[in-house]
Amino acid sequence: MSIRDEIIVLREIQYKDYDKILHCFSKKYGKIQIMAKRVRKSHSENSSVSLTFNHSGVNLIKNKDMYILLDGDVINNYYKIQNHYKSYVYGSYTLEILNHILQENESNIKLFEMTIKLFQMLSVESEGIESLMAAYEIKLISLMGFRPLMDRCISCDVRDELCYLSVEEGGVICKSCAKTMLNLIKFDANMLYELDFLIRHKFEDIIKIEIHSKTIQFIHVYFMHHAGKDNFKSLKLLGGDYYE
């Protein structure tokens, strides 16, 4: 019996003469692997379904630890992302993120739909995409259970004299607790406002306002720390300063 699902192709690996193994983000099942047979043959009806970035509706059959692709149709190939260099780099970075953090066969429909919306925005926007990516990072890390605590000191729970942010601790630190801590980041009210705005608002709203570079840099460092990886290959294409 076949399964109908939606997928985003995160990675494609050539297999044998004409096949591919696809690492995919499935709307129903989270991270899965799909055997796509004969998709590298000319005139294969499923060739477009097997390309990275593509969001497709597919029919699958489960076979032990892998799914077999029967057929499918592309819902959106997001080809316009490739028209702008930074959009393409950040889109590729998103695929790397998902390949790293997603768990096998654990559904995350909210993240799936959030990724679709991000790709839609990257397809049409060439300005402000650093803010979009910061929003995606902070929303994603919050979904993973690492939303920064911003209304009280994460160490002692007081709500007064909140002066610093701690990447390691995961939130704001008061003036008193800061005396015994290292690697703290001084913040102002604007920075906390921007963090909260990025978490709570839709991508369409985020693109309309200016997010300061200090906030964007903090989010990126915070995301890398709590995601447990800081060497995503795609970002190296930007020459080291990821959010210039």
Which of residues 51, 76, 101 is at a domain's end? 76
Domain count, the chain: 2
Q: Are 136 and 106 within one domain?
A: yes
E strands, the chain, in order:
3-15, 19-26, 30-36, 55-63, 66-76, 162-166, 171-174, 184-186
Q: Tell me, what's the pLDDT at 178? A: 96
CATH code, domain carrying 140: 1.20.1440.120
Q: Are 39 and 117 within one domain?
A: no
| pLDDT tens-digit readout, 161-202 | 999 999 999 999 999 999 999 999 999 889 999 999 999 999
CATH code, domain carrying 15: 2.40.50.140
Residue 20 is assigned to a structural domain of this protein: yes
Q: Are 166 and 220 within one domain?
A: yes
Domain with 107 in it: 79-238
Q: Are 164 and 216 within one domain?
A: yes
DSSP string computed for 150-205: -SS-TTT---SSEEEEETTTTEEEEHHHHTT--SEEE--HHHHHHHHHHHHS-HHH
Q: Are 120 and 223 within one domain?
A: yes
Confidence of residue 152 (pLDDT cuts 50, 70, 90): very high
Q: Are 173 and 230 within one domain?
A: yes
Residue 243 is assigned to a structural domain of this protein: no
pTM beyond cutoff 0.85: yes
Q: Tell me, what's the pLDDT at 147? A: 96
Is residue 244's pLDDT more than 60? Answer: no
Q: Are 62 and 93 within one domain?
A: no
